[in-house]
Structure 1
Amino acid sequence: MRLEWFGRGYAFGMRHQGVRQVVVLTGASGGIGRATARLFAGRGAAVALLARGEAGLKAAAKEVEELGGTALPIEVDMADEREVDAAATRVENELGAIDVWVNDAFTSVFAPFMQIEPEEFRRVTEVSYLGFVFGTRAALARMLPRDRGAIVQVGSALAYRGIPLQSAYCGAKHAIQGFNESLRAELLHDRRNVHVTMVQMPAVNTPQFGWVLSRLGRRAQPVPPIYQPEIAARAVVYAADHPKRREYWVGASTVGTLIADKFAPALLDRYLARTGYDSQQTPQPRDPRQPRNLWQPADEHADFGAHGDFDERSTRRSPQLWASQHHGLIAAVAGAGLAVAAAGAAVLARGR
């Protein structure tokens, strides 16, 4: 391996000199996956784009090629383990050994729990949880014999803290968290050079709010503050380059949510019971004609891109993301500050 420059800092790249990085992205046709594909493409990676929607995949592949990467779009239902494994085989046959696998594909239902049909709940679980399991298994089957590679699970603050109206999605994210921790411990036990890490996301301005099955009376929205998908994408790429860290937190709202849940979960229950319904809906009524991607891809005939409809309310900056990526530097600066303060106090004490 060699030390490589990846735009914003040095990182140990998961490839050898002169060999392009091979990356697999699930859920690559829209949202965070789409923004992440652009970043990997910009540094010349070969990017396998896994998703269901034909139009979204074609548009994503075109962007990857225009940005200097190599694109391999593959239509895959992540709930089908045979399709996932076949896609991984195709990637290695056409692009080469997989260096990075990013699990991001999901679907959901916006509704109170008792308004979600059992088959809908099962479908969300199969795509949004088992899809990560099947993707991880396909990646490990190829990475472990080589003893190198990185797997990034795109998580959420909701992996720790459930909120109303998203029981199926929250359940899947909680399951991914437990699965990933178990797997990480196994890899550490076996002293493997294959690493898994998880990136916990805040509310992101992605197309999902216009295509997820909703039974809400009003239009669904991310819970403010809202971040642009490029922030999430930078976190994913950084995690892929630094996969030994167990997880990354993106956005001050993620940090606040996780801390509040740790120290005052019952109080947070009551707060979300009071605010969680309105904060996830705009004042506008829901369009009954909006697409639903639970069973069929919403971007089969139209490309939705990376952004949702909330650009004017979304931020492109996250100082907390930088802090999450530089724990060591922050600790060193804080330690130096404490040392200086202690030395100053000692001088003052001697002068008295």
Structure 2
Amino acid sequence: MGDKDQSPQVVVVTGASGGVGRAVATAYGERHAKVALLARGVKGLAAAAGQVRQGGGTALEIPVDVADFAQVDAAAEQVEAELGPIDVWVNVAFTSVFARFTDIRPEEYRRVTEVSYLGYVHGTMAALKRMRPRNRGTIVQVGSALAYRGIPLQSAYCGAKHAIQGFNEALRCELLHDHSGIRVTMPQLPAVNTPQFSWVLSRLPRQAQPVPPIYQPEVAARAILYAADHPGRREYWVGASTMATLLANAVAPGLLDRYLARTGFTVQQTDKPKPPGQAANLWEPADGPEGHDYGAHGAFDQRSSGRSPQSWASMHHALVACLGGALVAAGVVLRKRSR
């Protein structure tokens, strides 16, 4: 972690123009890190870079389509030339389609896969290419509860997240086999209030929404920075809903299938019609030259929580275990004294 006694960290964040990536970049700026912001949307990138600088960090915005490895590799080369050796690479960028599987065109499915899965592969390749000679560095693959549990209307996104999970596990095994000093870790996020519900291509009749409970992007950002600082853990579960979903899926996946079949269509849509002319960032960024800056937050601020006790407990599980042990011991002592 960069502090007053150390040189600033060099951090790359993909998908940094909005949502969780924007919140992560801003948080690193507040640490006075050197932050390279990679995304397609130039207006969003410029605004995000301004927030990084306002927090005291150094910002380098680079327009990049992560589906193109040549662009990602060139961006990594530029980062090291202008900011220095990369310490942390955070893969966040994604796109998706809200629709039934049968309503998604083959070229749209391919595009989601290229951005949301291969974008992570490309970022990891570019990072490892530069980290391996130094034998140090951290790569954070920002995941989701949907990396384990698919839900209706998001088959393309769920497929990409499942793919990232398997890819990351395989890579982690290879790094462990090589006794590498490079670490990879994967925070699994809950539903987050990001602009994706206003800019992802949707064929739903009503406005798309996150599955409650909804968390603010800053909750995710805090967990991601903690994971980057403590990459020895293979993954972090962020939010009580993530924990509940993954546990339920491990114990009774068939029952969860039926539950989501009954509730998954309704709970992912508000009671309002989809706005006419809603942006769709599948092929072109919604925050590009003809668009506007969407920021980190989506349209659900009033329904979103800025805190997650479960996330805190996950990040401090050793302390929680010690406190739990102390409470058990105290209970045993009190019980003996009461006899």
Q: Give TM-score scaled by structure 1 length.
A: 0.93
Q: Which amino acid aligns with 1:263?
A: V
- Alpha carbons 2:20, 2:221 under 8 Å: kept: yes
**Pairwise mapping of residues 2-151 of structure 1 onto structure 2 (< 5 A)?**
13=1, 17-151=5-139
> What is residue 299 of structure 2 aligned with on the other side?
309
Q: The residue matched to 1:224 in structure 2 has which SS?
A: coil
Change (3 A) 1:16 1:89: farther
Q: Which amino acid aligns with 2:143?
A: G
Change (3 A) 1:16 1:81: farther
Aligned residues: 337
2:215 to 199, 210, 227: 227
1:16, CA displacement in angstroms?
Answer: 10
1:207 to 188, 195, 202: 195
Identical pairs, percent: 67
**Pairing 1:333–2:323 present:** yes
1:191, CA displacement in angstroms?
Answer: 1.1
Which structure 1 residue ranges, 5 or more long, are not aligned? 1-12
- Alpha carbons 1:78, 1:84 under 8 Å: kept: yes
- Alpha carbons 2:2, 2:33 under 8 Å: kept: no
> What is residue 183 of structure 1 aligned with on the other side?
171
> What is residue 4 of structure 1 aligned with on the other side?
none
Q: The residue matched to 2:117 in structure 1 has which SS?
A: helix
Q: Following the alignment from structure 2 to structure 1, what is the Cα–Cα distance between the partners of residues 81 and 185?
A: 26
Q: Following the alignment from structure 1 to structure 2, what is the Cα–Cα distance between the partners of residues 42 and 341?
A: 43
Q: Following the alignment from structure 1 to structure 2, what is the Cα–Cα distance between the partners of residues 307 and 345?
A: 50
1:332, CA displacement in angstroms?
Answer: 1.6
> What is residue 3 of structure 1 aligned with on the other side?
none
1:246-292 CA distances to partner (integer Å, 9 max, x unpaired)?
Answer: 11111111111111101011110010000000000001111230111
1:24-59 CA distances to partner (integer Å, 9 max, x unpaired)?
Answer: 000000000101111100110000000000110111
- Alpha carbons 2:13, 2:92 under 8 Å: kept: yes
1:331, CA displacement in angstroms?
Answer: 1.4
- Alpha carbons 2:3, 2:31 under 8 Å: kept: no
1:280-325 CA distances to partner (integer Å, 9 max, x unpaired)?
Answer: 0001111230111000001003100000000111111100010010
**Pairing 1:284–2:272 present:** yes
- Alpha carbons 1:148, 1:194 under 8 Å: kept: yes
Q: Following the alignment from structure 2 to structure 1, what is the Cα–Cα distance between the partners of residues 62 and 296?
A: 18
- Alpha carbons 2:16, 2:45 under 8 Å: kept: yes
Q: Which amino acid aligns with 2:314?
A: S
Which structure 2 residue ranges, 5 or more long, are not aligned? none
1:168, CA displacement in angstroms?
Answer: 0.2
> What is residue 257 of structure 1 aligned with on the other side?
245
> What is residue 171 of structure 1 aligned with on the other side?
159
1:14, CA displacement in angstroms?
Answer: 6.8
Q: Give TM-score scaled by structure 2 length.
A: 0.96
**Pairing 1:319–2:309 present:** yes
2:224 to 236, 241, 244: 236
> What is residue 268 of structure 1 aligned with on the other side?
256
Q: Following the alignment from structure 2 to structure 1, what is the Cα–Cα distance between the partners of residues 73 and 4?
A: 25
- Alpha carbons 1:14, 1:99 under 8 Å: kept: no
- Alpha carbons 1:14, 1:149 under 8 Å: kept: no
1:185, CA displacement in angstroms?
Answer: 1.1
Q: The residue matched to 1:277 in structure 2 has which SS?
A: helix
Q: Following the alignment from structure 2 to structure 1, what is the Cα–Cα distance between the partners of residues 240 and 199?
A: 27
Q: Following the alignment from structure 1 to structure 2, what is the Cα–Cα distance between the partners of residues 149 and 43?
A: 18
1:15, CA displacement in angstroms?
Answer: 8.8
